[in-house]
């Protein structure tokens, strides 16, 4: 039983990442009707926001400490960070330690700026072009963004640790009498993803802005005829989708050391998730994200093992089966991207 729950938990962190990226993809698709191949790059940029902030915060200078000697007998050079010397070792140290959660705030302006620049600068000009062109131009953009990041940060993965307090393992299931050991940060990631998804849905459901956007998704022209500037709202939705993808990346940095092609790796799977969930359906994207994440984790479970390495292809297999039996995906709506 505890093993079973552990498999579900194992699937949750990847599932959360899939769900967050797929949510953003669906938002963009539902509002602007654009298939964004550069969405994985947004996820990657988010992860590198974590890296950047932790580098900024731990910027350090060297001083020579005459009281200590290194093994050659020379005075020892001590590295100390600006944070600690300005704010004292307690607060400064804590800030450095908590750089990944702080990067959530740090990433907001960056992701909004990137998102708006992308939409206004490029994608706006592709609304009327065929979907193939949209796919291709965003694919080109993804390559460029990826290369820019590689130029600045190099090709190797960069370890970005979670805060000390959250990088231990958590003992779960004590109340049920089960022994489940699970990394605390993954739990944090899951709940963070849930909160973000809940926030996006609440925003769409309970605010006037969200209502207008939903109306625009259903019938853009009519909303425009009512004198509402729907384009501007859709641009803002693009920025929100970019922030959601960015946050998914920010918080994912401690789980998987960010490298420049992580976006491409996640993108394909997120597309599969969107298609399985049903193109244009927000709940479908989220549900399919978690579902496929958990499925992947179960496929790698020793006890279930049909054959080696099933976990690497199970998502594709499921996607192919679903697309053939339920062409609209799990929760797809009629009339959305029928052909």
Partner 1 sequence: MLGLNKKDFNLLMVVVGLSLFAPFILNIFPKDSAMAFFNGGYPDLMQRFAIFGIFAIGFNILFGLTGYLSFGHAAFLGVGSYAAVWMFKLLGYNVVPGLILSVIVAGLLSVVIGYVSLRRSGIYFSILTLAFAQMMYSIAYSDLFGRWLGITLTNGETGLQVYSNDPQILLGENSPIVPHIFGLEMNARLTLPIGPWEFVFPVGYYFSALFLVLAFYLSIRIFRSPFGLMLRAVKSNNQRMTYTGLNPRPYTLAAFIISGMYAGLAGGLLASMDPLAGAERMYWTESGAVVIMTILGGVGTLIGPVLGAGTIKYMENIISKMNEKLLHEWFGFLPDSLEYSIVWVASWFTGEGWHMTQGVVFMLVIIFLPGGLVEGGQRLAARFGAKSNDTGKTAQPAE
Which residues of the shown chain bind partner 1 in the complex (CB under 8 A)?
35, 125, 130-133, 135-137, 139-144, 146-148, 150-151, 264, 268, 271-272, 275, 279, 307-309, 312-313, 316-317, 319-320, 323-324, 327, 337, 339
Residues 255, 17: Cα–Cα separation, whole Å? 11
Q: For the residues of 42-93, what is the DSSP string, one character each?
A: HHHHHHHHHHHHHHHHT-EEEEEEEEEE-TTSSEEEEEEEHHHHHHHHHHHH
Question: Which of 104, 299 has the CB closer to partner 1?
Answer: 299
85 Cβ contact partners less than 8 Å away, ≥ 6 residues apart: 92
Q: How far is the CB of 315 from partner 1 (least distance, A)?
A: 8
Report, in Å, the least distance between residue 307 CB and partner 1: 5
Residue with smaller CB distance to partner 1, 150 or 333:
150
Torsional sign, CA 162, 112, 135, 289 = positive
Nearer to partner 1, 207 or 312 (CB): 312
Torsion of CA 297, 303, 309, 311, to 10 degrees: -20
Cα(137)–Cα(199) distance, integer angstroms: 31
Q: Which is nearer to partner 1, 136 or 170 (CB)?
A: 136
Q: Are 77 and 64 in contact (CB under 8 A)?
A: yes
Q: Nearer to partner 1 by C-beta: 126 or 252? A: 126
To the nearest whole angstrom, how small is the minimum distance from the Cβ of residue 166 to partner 1?
32
**CA pair distance 253, 247, nearest whole angstrom:** 10
User: Which residues on adjacent β-strands are paired with residue 64?
Assistant: 77
Residue given tokens 């625009």 in the structure block: 216
Q: Give 145 or 251: the residue with its C-beta nearer to partner 1.
A: 145
CA distances from 291 to 8, 71, 274 (A): 10, 56, 12
| Residue (of 173, 199, 176) closest to 187 by Cα position | 173
Using the minimum distance from each CB to partner 1, give the nearer residue, 101 or 278: 278
| Choice between 269 and 286, CB closer to partner 1 | 269
């Amino acid at each position: 039983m505890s093993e079973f729950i552990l498999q579900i938990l194992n699937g949750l962190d990847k599932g959360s990442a899939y769900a967050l990226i797929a949510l953003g993809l669906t938002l963009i698709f539902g509002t602007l009707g654009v298939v964004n191949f550069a969405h994985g790059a947004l996820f990657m940029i988010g992860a590198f926001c974590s890296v950047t902030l932790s580098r900024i915060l731990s910027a350090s200078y060297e001083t020579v400490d005459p009281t200590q000697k290194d093994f050659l007998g020379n005075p020892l050079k001590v590295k100390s960070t600006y944070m600690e010397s300005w704010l004292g070792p307690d607060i400064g140290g804590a800030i450095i330690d908590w750089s990944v959660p702080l990067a959530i705030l740090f990433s907001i302006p960056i992701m909004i700026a990137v998102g708006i620049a992308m939409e206004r600068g490029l994608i706006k000009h592709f609304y009327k072009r065929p979907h193939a062109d949209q796919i291709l131009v965003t694919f080109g953009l993804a390559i460029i963004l990826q290369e820019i990041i590689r130029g600045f940060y190099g090709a190797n993965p960069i370890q970005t640790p979670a805060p000390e307090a959250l990088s231990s393992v958590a003992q779960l299931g004590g109340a049920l009498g089960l022994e489940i050991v699970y990394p605390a940060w993954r739990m944090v990631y899951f709940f963070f993803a849930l909160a973000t998804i809940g926030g996006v849905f609440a925003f769409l459901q309970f605010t006037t802005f969200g209502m207008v956007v939903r109306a625009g998704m259903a019938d853009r022209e009519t909303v425009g005829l009512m004198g509402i500037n729907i384009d501007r709202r859709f641009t803002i939705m693009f920025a929100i989708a970019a922030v959601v993808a960015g946050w998914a990346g920010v918080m994912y940095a401690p789980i998987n050391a960010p490298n420049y092609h992580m976006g491409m790796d996640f993108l394909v799977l997120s597309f599969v998730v969107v298609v399985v969930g049903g193109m244009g359906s927000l709940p479908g994207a989220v549900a399919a994200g978690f579902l496929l994440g958990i499925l992947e984790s179960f496929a790698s479970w020793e006890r279930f093992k049909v054959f080696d390495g099933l976990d690497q292809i199970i998502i594709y297999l499921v996607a192919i089966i679903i697309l053939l039996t339920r062409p609209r995906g799990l929760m797809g709506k009629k009339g959305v991207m029928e052909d």
